[in-house]
Structure 1
Amino acid sequence: MTTSKSNFEIPEQMREFAEKSVDQARKAFDSFMDATQKAVNTVEGQTNAAQSGSLDMNKKVLDYAEEHVDAAFQLAQKIVRAGDMQEILQLQSEYLKGQMEALGEQARELSESATRTASDVTSKGTDK
């Protein structure tokens, strides 16, 4: 039994086909990775915008609560110093009117802030 070694050569067309296939696979993989990175960046941008807006709104709500508590204490101090029931009713009426105006303004500011946050989140999603 003689063993003969034969030289196996890959035809040039097959070699070119294999090279093209590898190049195409590499390009497809690179495109996939680019799309994945863009998606991750978009989510990060939206998350950051939402978190920033949420923190801003939380701070505003706490500031508003502090203003309302302060106004209530001021009312209590004025009532303690009031001379009669008529003055107490007047103080309470002024307090309620002021609180309703403040609540209206605060609701408007919170609504604007929420709209800005939603717009920021949306624009972060379309910027990428």
Structure 2
Amino acid sequence: MVESIYQIPTEVRDFAEKSVEQARKAFEGFAGAAQKALDTSGEVPFGLPNAKDVSVKALSFAEANVNAAFDLAQKLVHARDPQEVFKLQSEFVQAQLKAIQEQTKELGATFQRPTTKS
């Protein structure tokens, strides 16, 4: 069997893995602060119906999409060869396109839902 020329030193992989984890934690802090701000604020301005619901849903979609990108980065750090990198990237793009289609439908439905005031 031929050795892969795609050998990345362990130190580089470790550094990349730690960097991805640090970025994920930083984003989680940001997302948590944004969620807290939405939870403690009143209705989102501009008088748009369901604006707060749309904002909360959009934030949750953004979190899911960024977490998917972090998951991809984590997998790429451990990829054994360029073929695996291309496979992982292709799977990610396909999954994200599907997710974005679903998210768009869900946001549209939330926007069109009649508001109910208590």
> What TM-score comes out, normalization by structure 2 length?
0.56
The structure with more radius of gyration: 1
Residue matched to 2:78: 81
Residue matched to 2:105: 108
What are the superposed Cα offsets for residues 6-65 of structure 1, whole Å, 9 maximum, x if unpaired?
Answer: xxxxxxxxxxxxxxxxxxxxxxxxxxxxxxxxxxxxxxxxxxxx5661100000000000
CA contact (8 A) 2:49 2:115 kept: no
Residue matched to 1:62: 59
How far did residue 78 of structure 1 move?
0.3
Amino acid at match of 1:70: N
Of all paired residues, the percent bearing the same amino acid is: 42
Residue matched to 1:93: 90
Amino acid at match of 2:115: D
Structure that is richer in helix per residue: 1
Which runs of 5 or more structure 2 residues have no equivalent in the other structure? 1-46
> What TM-score comes out, normalization by structure 1 length?
0.52
- Give yes or no for the alignment of 1:120 onto 2:107: no
Which runs of 5 or more structure 1 residues have no equivalent in the other structure? 1-49
How far did residue 120 of structure 1 move?
3.4
Amino acid at match of 1:56: D
